[in-house]
Structure 1
Amino acid sequence: MKIIDKLAWIEIRDGRILSTRSKGRSKYYIPGGKREAGETDFQALQREIQEELSVNLVEESMTFTGIFQAQADSHPEGVQVKMTCFEGRYTGTIAASAEIEEVVWLSYADRALISPVDQLIFDWLKEQKRIW
């Protein structure tokens, strides 16, 4: 089994979670991405979030949320994505950048619009009564 190792930044406001849609894609994803060689989790997540959303994460505020794993969207059966999630403050104004076409705040009712691993994260956040 192949595993795609990714990081994600969870930002929740008023019971909704920040999500993005890349150009040419139909599904929404929790923002984040893959590490580059030699990067720490924070360095990789900061780089990805800066590229995608034009904001800077505040390192000392970052807390580990959890690890979720599921079938990778748009990959052959058996390819899994492992998402290591963090939460924390940011500075700046969130705006779509680079490959991001749309930034939205999704509720649990939007679960069908997201990838399988994000669905697991949505389920967990709903159980925790953090999104509705």
Structure 2
Amino acid sequence: MVDKIAWLHLHGGRLLSTRSRGKDRYYLPGGKREAGETDTQALVREIKEELTVDLDPASLAHVGTWDAPAHGHPEGVLVRMTCYRARYAGHLRPAAEIEELAWLTYRDRPRVSAVDQLIFDSLRERGLLAE
């Protein structure tokens, strides 16, 4: 099981997504915890590294947790994605391994990983993600 934390940032019915250098899929911004990190610590660190903005830890709100086959891993490997919403300060810019930022709608579902597709479905069902 690959255990990841992700930030769900919606604006105008579109969801912020990222594409890393050399990757063919978009992924929600976030990443893996380092030893001893809480979800909050890991997410704040990852978003600062990847997008150059500061999440407001006090505003973190759990949205959901989803499991699916891990994209780019051997068959049978699953990813568990725990997602949070949060306010931020600063200007969104790609950094570290992130090559591109994109604002995606439900039409972009085929362009994201399997676990992100489940999240897209859930957000659309809740009326949060535009068609």
Q: Alpha-carbon deviation of 1:66? A: 0.4
> Using the alignment, how far apart are the partners of 1:61 and 1:45 within structure 2?
12
Aligned to 1:80: 78
The 5-angstrom pairing of residues 1-132 of structure 1 reads: 3-132=1-130
Aligned identity (percent) is: 55
- CA deviation vs aligned residue, 1:2-52 (integer Å, no higher than 9, x gap): x10000000000000000000000100000000000111111001110000
- RMSD of the alignment, in Å? 0.4
TM-score, normalised to structure 1, is 0.98
Three-state SS of the structure 2 residue aligned to 1:112 is: helix
- CA deviation vs aligned residue, 1:64-110 (integer Å, no higher than 9, x gap): 00000000000111100000000010000000000000001000000
> Using the alignment, how far apart are the partners of 1:77 and 1:37 within structure 2?
26
> Using the alignment, how far apart are the partners of 1:70 and 1:38 within structure 2?
25
Can you give the 5+ residue segments of structure 2 that lack an aligned partner in the other structure? none
Moved over 6 A (4+): none
> Using the alignment, how far apart are the partners of 1:37 and 1:118 within structure 2?
25
